[in-house]
Amino acid sequence: MTRFDPTELIHHPYQAPAGFAAPQLGVYKASTVMFPNVAALRQRDWRFKDGYTYGLHGTPTTFALEERIATLEGGSQCVLVPSGLAAVALVDLALLSPGDEVLLPDNVYGPSLELARTDLARWGITHRLYDPLDAAGLAALVTPNTKLLWLEAAGSVTMEFPDLAGLVQAARAAGVTTAIDNTWGAGIALRPFELGIDIVMQALTKFPSGGGDVLMGSVTTRSAALHERIKLAHMHLGYGVAGNDAELLLRSLPSLALRYHAHDATARALAEWLATRPEISRVLHPALPGCPGHAYWRAQCTAAAGLFSVMVDERYSQAQVDAFVDALRLFKIGYSWAGPVSLAVPYDLSGMRGGRPPYPGTLVRLAIGLESEAALRADLVQALRALD
Ligand SMILES: *Cc1c(COP(=O)(O)O)cnc(C)c1O
């Protein structure tokens, strides 16, 4: 018998016809990308999307996703990274040098502050916290070393909505580049470039994925010069995303707006109802009057994410609040949000908002999934009994 030669499987002559048309793009995966000849290899410039160099620098699947995220955000160029936090780090590393200072809101996403406190500090980059509701106070914090202002709307966990227009105006007047963590707005509730923000970062892990099963981040720009700085840092750091993950995002994006509004409607109904409950002293949802920054939310947003926090009244101990969270059945205990499953997490406020916890009681963050409002409300009703 002749021995099968695998070469013909590796160099197979069959070429599928071009022009395959279907609702979803194919998934392209590669480390190696092949060039027709040496001249083509030498001519390729890996900075641009007019061809392919190496899997890390893009495939048809990741290029298509980058273009769609740029469209979603209203920007011109986008780069993909393996997580939302990697997107924050990429912006910091691309724009900051030793001696520079970055300003962070005092309700910034925790790991972003942790990066500033540890590695950025080690590289001689300082940070300062600012009050996102006090745009007038920002100018006093800016020095010649201030190179980057991070914005986040709404803020993490305590959900205050910043005066974006005022903060951006103050930063622009001082010549400081602005970047927003737009994970909450997801390209739906808020149009950051229309407010004059320079860089829009998003954890695609949340709404654009919507499945609770993909980690990815994006950094979108309108300015070609800013994009080039970010793209170069992206390449130097070796950031890339997997084709199958990009495919999941491409499949989820068409339903993004529908899902966003569904999460929003259920969350707002539950937030309004929780505000009437005697066990809850405060509901922190930017679309509810009385939430700090509500007027800025109303002026700048057309929707809200399905994410809010409640302050359980201070007459209940931490152990009682933990028992309430443990008693939830449909709400699962876990980080992240914007997937189908509702989630609850109790947070310790003591290290937040620059060490000045602003609200008495115990904070529980609720991420509303896609279950029915009635089922989630019934779950909260039965779990609240665990407080007594
Ligand atoms: C989740 C989240 C991130 C980080 O995203 P990962 O993909 O989990 O790293 C950053 N910012 C905000 C506001 C987030 O909610």
Q: Is the CB of residue 107 below 6 angstroms from any atom belonging to ligand 1?
A: no
| Helix, strand, or coil (residue 114) | helix
* Nearest alpha carbon to residue 235 among 13, 22, 48, 77: 48
Average pLDDT over residues 44-66: 92
pLDDT digits (tens, 9 = 90+) for 140-170: 999 999 999 999 999 999 999 999 999 999 9
Residues 244 and 273 in one domain: no
Residue 8 lies in a domain: no
Ligand 1 atom closest to the CA of 88, numbered from 1: 10
Q: What is the whole-number distance in angstroms between the Cα of residue 148 and the centre of ligand 1?
A: 19
Confidence of residue 57 (pLDDT cuts 50, 70, 90): very high
Residues 195 and 131 in one domain: yes
147, 100 Cβ separation under 8 angstroms? yes
Has residue 274 got a pLDDT over 90?
yes
* Predicted pLDDT at 108: 96
Q: 0.85 cut: is pTM over it?
A: yes
Give the domain-ending residue among 237, 254, 271.
Answer: 254
Q: Is the CB of residue 209 below 6 angstroms from any atom belonging to ligand 1?
A: no
Residues 198 and 288 in one domain: no
| Helix, strand, or coil (residue 46) | coil
Residues 271 and 134 in one domain: no
Give the domain-ending residue among 211, 226, 254.
Answer: 254
Look up tokens 């009385």; give the residue.
Answer: 290
CATH number at residue 108: 3.40.640.10
Residues 250 and 262 in one domain: no
pLDDT digits (tens, 9 = 90+) for 316-348: 999 999 999 999 999 999 999 999 999 999 998
- Which residue lies with its CA nearest to atom 8 of ligand 1? 84
Residue 306 lies in a domain: yes
- Please count the structural domains in the chain: 2
Query: Beta strands of the chain (E only): which ranges?
Result: 77-81, 101-105, 126-130, 146-152, 177-181, 199-203, 217-221, 280-284, 307-312, 332-333, 343-347, 362-367
User: Which residue segment(s) compose the domain that 265 sits in?
Assistant: 256-387
Mutate to test the pocket of ligand 1, among 183, 199, 249 (most ligand atoms within 8 A of CB): 183
* Predicted pLDDT at 195: 97
Least confident of 14-18, 66-70, 277-281, 295-299: 14-18
pLDDT digits (tens, 9 = 90+) for 277-290: 999 999 999 999 98
pLDDT digits (tens, 9 = 90+) for 166-194: 999 999 999 999 999 999 999 999 999 99
CATH number at residue 308: 3.90.1150.10
Q: What is the whole-number distance in angstroms between the Cα of residue 305 and the centre of ligand 1?
A: 14
Has residue 2 got a pLDDT over 80?
yes
Q: Is the CB of residue 155 below 6 angstroms from any atom belonging to ligand 1?
A: no
